[in-house]
Structure 1
Amino acid sequence: VESKKSIGALKIAVVKLEKKAVEAFNPKSADK
């Protein structure tokens, strides 16, 4: 169970990083 939790947390962190990267490269998309 603990490994699944950490994997889920990693996926969430990756998604957040991807969103930040997209906003950094494409500020117009941050409005959506």
Structure 2
Amino acid sequence: FVGAEEGATSIIKGMYVHEFVHDSRHLLGFPCH
């Protein structure tokens, strides 16, 4: 089940990156949505 494990890790990383980019946009003054 290595594939499933990697998939879960990529999802977690993806969520982290999404939140980071989202916060960065707010800090730069970009509107949300």
Same fold by TM-score, threshold 0.5 exceeded?
yes
Instruction: From the two aligned structures, give the one with the greater helix fraction.
Output: 1
Residue 17 of structure 1: how far off its partner (Å): 0.1
Q: Which residue of 2 aligns with 1:25?
A: 25
* Percentage identity across paired residues of the two chains: 4
Q: State the aligned residue count.
A: 27
**What stretches of structure 1 of length at least 5 have no aligned partner?**
28-32
Q: Which runs of 4+ in 1 moved over 6 A?
A: none
Bigger Rg over Cα: 2
**What stretches of structure 2 of length at least 5 have no aligned partner?**
28-33
Q: Greater relative contact order: 1 or 2 (C-alpha under 8 angstroms, separation 6 or more)?
A: 1
TM normalised by structure 1 equals: 0.77
Residue 26 of structure 1: how far off its partner (Å): 1.1
